[in-house]
Structure 1
Amino acid sequence: MKTMTTEELINLLDANEDLNIIDVREDFEVANGMIPGAVHIPLGELPERLEELDPSKEYIIVCRSGNRSGKACQFLESQGFNAVNLEGGMEAYDGELEFK
């Protein structure tokens, strides 16, 4: 499984890279802030929302600590998607947040 550090992610965000970030946390967790531009798809909804994703794109998967996003990455890879797990999740992320 491919991984990315929060520092690498912040550098890509600062460079205005076109990123596809999926936040797999629950509603009550994302209420505390999300990475700007992230799409919220709770882990339990991922299988039925696969049609929203483009198999030709790379997705950076985020959760609270990196465990659920790791499971999401394994699932997405098994479905033919290119997924990258954010190491340490939101606990390690100290960049800008957006609130939805």
Structure 2
Amino acid sequence: MKDIEVEELKERLDKEEQFVFLDVREVYEYEEDNLGAKNIPLAQLPNKLSEIEMHKDDEIIVHCRSGARSGNAKQFLESKGFTKVRNVIGGILAYRELEEE
């Protein structure tokens, strides 16, 4: 699936649209600043697949700090049969910049 720009993500969050929202940053990063996503650090993702297994065919939007770790998470999830995974381009940094405009 096509990745998602922060503008679209913000619009969908503002409208409270339903999708699986995953934050793959480390716990300390998540505690400092988060968008309300479920936090599963990238390194723990292989061991925590059971927590999101029921969402294999649902849209999953993954983000991290800048988009790199979430890009890796997207590839990993797709390799495990998840069909609608989207990476947030630019991550939370780009999202916060958008909010400041």
TM-score range for the pair, normalised by the shorter chain length: 0.7 to 0.9
The correspondence of residues 17-32 of structure 1 with structure 2, limited to 5 A, is: 17-32=17-32
Which SS does the other structure have where 2:62 is aligned? strand
Deviation, structure 1 residue 87: 0.3
Q: CA RMSD in A?
A: 1.5
More helix by share: 2
Q: Which residue of 2 aligns with 1:84?
A: 86
Q: CA deviation at 1:33?
A: 1.4
Q: Percent identity?
A: 46
Partner of 2:49 in structure 1? 50
- What CA distance in whole angstroms lies between the structure 1 residues aligned with 2:76 and 2:24? 12
1:50-75 CA-partner distances (Å, limit 9, x unpaired) = 11112121110010000000000000
Q: Secondary structure at the match of 1:34?
A: coil
Q: Deviations over 1:4-58 (max 9, x none)?
A: 011100101111101211000001111221112x100000010111111121211
The list of structure 1 runs, each at least 4 consecutive aligned residues, that deviate by more than 3 angstroms after superposition, is none
- AA aligned opposite 1:89: G
Normalised by the size of structure 2, how large is the TM-score?
0.87
In the alignment, structure 1 segments of 5+ residues that lack a partner are none
Stretches of structure 2 lacking an aligned partner (at least 5 in a row): none
Q: How does 1:1-100 map to 2 (within 5 A)?
A: 2-36=2-36, 38-53=37-52, 54-81=55-82, 82-94=84-96
Equivalent residue pairs, number: 95
- TM-score using structure 1 length: 0.88
**In 1: Cα distance, 2:48 partner to 2:59 partner:** 16
Per-residue CA deviation, residues 78-98 of structure 1 (Å, 9 max, x unaligned), is: 1111210000001101278xx
